[in-house]
Amino acid sequence: MLSKVGRYENVVEPFHCDVNHELFMGHLGNHLLNAADFHSSDRGFGMSYLNTVNKTWVLSRLVIEMEEMPMQYRHFFVETWVESAMRYFTSRNFRVEGQDGKTLGFGRSIWALIDLDSRQPSNLLEINNGDIVKWVETDKECPIAKPGRVNMSSDVALCGERQAKYSDVDVNGHVNSVKYIEHVLDMFPLEKFVENRVARFEVAYVAESYFGDTLRFYREHSAQTDDGEEYTLSIAKRNEDGTETECVRSLVRFKKK
């Protein structure tokens, strides 16, 4: 009998580490999304099954708060569980545990179910007669704020531009969720990560972009506190008519080391 909470072991590979010898946030995100995939597949509502009924999960929000990042070569565990399942959205939480049992951080995510042809939202309670509900775990704690609205001023200057390349796009031809995390953090200079740690990372996936799209990067310094600062970041694609469509909105909270 499977438990409601899935638990997956990982190791911090050397090429997945930043200059601090700590796991890159993008790779941590990848481990969380893998855990979500394994957990849902094992319980009958994963991507592989959904594809047979012409549906798929779409990640809408991801937020990660870390007290400490796993270090190079260390093992760590990702726990994941479904916190709630409503008609059009399900929220899934994560806990990251170090090899010594210490809690390193938590994550929250929100997913929609869509129809593969229409790309429209689909009622996730109709999958396997609402089976997902029986996996909902409400007792396990996830003591970080839910993803919120991330505001950005309208006059923020362009801070970079890049074409979406072969390595950016996933099996569906979309720029993948993990690569966006890399692109967001690549808007900062290296010293930012040497002098601070990323205490909260939040991302909303708003629209899809594709191979060849010109991605435009925006960064706004949105708050300064005694122990750190906060930035709002946005990635938009340039449309043929010169307008832009926002693909990703993100918030990064740095804490001074």
157 touches its own copies (CB under 8 A) = no
Binder among 177, 209, 232, 250 for its own copies (CB under 8 A): 177
Residue nearer to its own copies on the CB measure, 168 or 202: 168
Residue whose pair of structure tokens reads 């869509």 in the numeric block:
114
Residues 16-35 that bind its own copies (CB under 8 A): 17-21, 24, 26, 30, 33-34
Residue nearer to its own copies on the CB measure, 81 or 217: 217
Residues 42-101 that bind its own copies (CB under 8 A): 47-48, 72-73
Helices 25-42 and 177-185 sit at what angle, rounded to 10 degrees?
A: 160
148 touches its own copies (CB under 8 A) = no
Cβ–Cβ < 8 Å for 42, 120: no
Binder among 5, 7, 37, 228 for its own copies (CB under 8 A): 37
CA-to-CA distance for 21 and 154, rounded, in angstroms?
37
CA-to-CA distance for 63 and 108, rounded, in angstroms?
5
Q: Which letter, b or e, does each residue of 105-119 get, where b requires 16 or more Cβ atoms within 10 Å of its Cβ?
A: bbbbbbbbbbeeeee
Binder among 86, 212, 223, 239 for its own copies (CB under 8 A): 212
CA-to-CA distance for 232 and 249, rounded, in angstroms?
7
Residue nearer to its own copies on the CB measure, 142 or 169: 169
- Minimum distance of its own copies from residue 105's CB (angstroms): 19
Q: Which stretch binds its own copies (CB under 8 A): 92-100, 119-127, 137-145, 158-166?
A: 158-166
- Minimum distance of its own copies from residue 211's CB (angstroms): 4
DSSP single-letter state for residue 211: T
DSSP 66-121: ESSPPBTT-EEEEEEEEEEE-SS-EEEEEEEEETTS-EEEEEEEEEEEEETTT--B
Task: Give me the residues that bind its own copies (CB under 8 A), please.
Answer: 13-15, 17-21, 24, 26, 30, 33-34, 37, 47-48, 72-73, 162, 165-167, 169-173, 176-178, 182, 185-186, 188-190, 192-193, 211-212
